[in-house]
Amino acid sequence: YVDCDADTLLMQVEPAGPACHTGRVSCFYREFEHLDGGGVIVKAVSAK
């Protein structure tokens, strides 16, 4: 998959080791929570 402005390519693979500079398997470990006032909270999620 490619996102709307073509700056991210998302693929499902079996990694041989960490792919993120943080040492995590993937760089996609955070999720957004939108607040009623227009703010956004970013929080890390555990590996699934």
**Over the stretch 1-48, which tens digit does the pLDDT of each residue have?**
788 888 888 888 888 999 899 998 888 887 777 777 777 776 766 655
What is the pTM for the complete model shown? Answer: 0.43
With helix as H, strand as E and coil as C, how does the chain read? CECCCCCCECCCCCCCCCCCCCCCCCCCCEEEEECCCCCEEEEECCCC
Residue 47's pLDDT is 58
Structural domain boundaries in the chain: 1-48
Residue 1's pLDDT is 78
